[in-house]
Amino acid sequence: MKENCRPTNPGDTCAVKGIHRNVINSVKQKMPESVALFELSDFFKLFGDSTRLGIIWALSESEMCVCDLCALLKMKQPAVSHQLKNLKQTRVVKSRRDGKVVYYSLDDEHISKLLKMGMDHISES
C-alpha cells in the first residue's frame, strides 16, 4: 500500500496514520486496556450464540436443571453441558447440586438487564 497522505496541518496526517490527531489522542486516553477489551469481548461473545442465549434467557426466568434445559431447547445433553461450562467459567451462571441433579441459575442480576436492553434495541426497528 502506498503512502498517500497529505497533511493539512502540521500533526494532521492521514492514510493509516489518522487525520485528526487531537481526536485520536483524546480517545486513546479513554480507551480501556487492550486486555480489558479482550475480556469484555469474551464476555459478550457468550451472548452471541443463539443456543447459549436461549439457555441464558431461560435461566433468567427460572432456575433449571440440565435435563430440563435439554427438553426446553431441544438440545442434546452434552451440548447443553458444554455451554453451561462456558457460562460458569465466566461467572454468568452458577450451579448447585441436589443429589444427582444439578441446578443452574444466573449468577448476577446484570445479566438479565443486559438481555432486556439488547432486546429493546433490536425491537426498535
List interacting residues with DNA (CB under 7 A).
4-6, 14-15, 19, 42, 45, 48-49, 51-52, 65-67, 70, 75-79, 81-86, 95, 97, 99-102
82 binds a copy of itself (CB under 8 A): no
16 binds a copy of itself (CB under 8 A): yes
> 3-class SS at 11?
coil
Asked if 106 and 93 touch (Cβ cutoff 8 Å), the reply is yes
Cell 480489558 -> residue: 36
**Per-residue exposure over 5-40, b if at least 16 CB sit within 10 Å of its own CB, e if not:** eeeeeeeebeeeeeeeeeeeeeeeeeeeeeeeeeee
> For binding to a copy of itself (CB under 8 A), which residues are involved?
2, 4-5, 14-20, 23-24, 26-28, 30-32, 34, 36-50, 52-54, 57-58, 61-62, 64-65, 67-68, 70-72, 76-77, 98-101, 108, 110-111, 113-115, 117-122
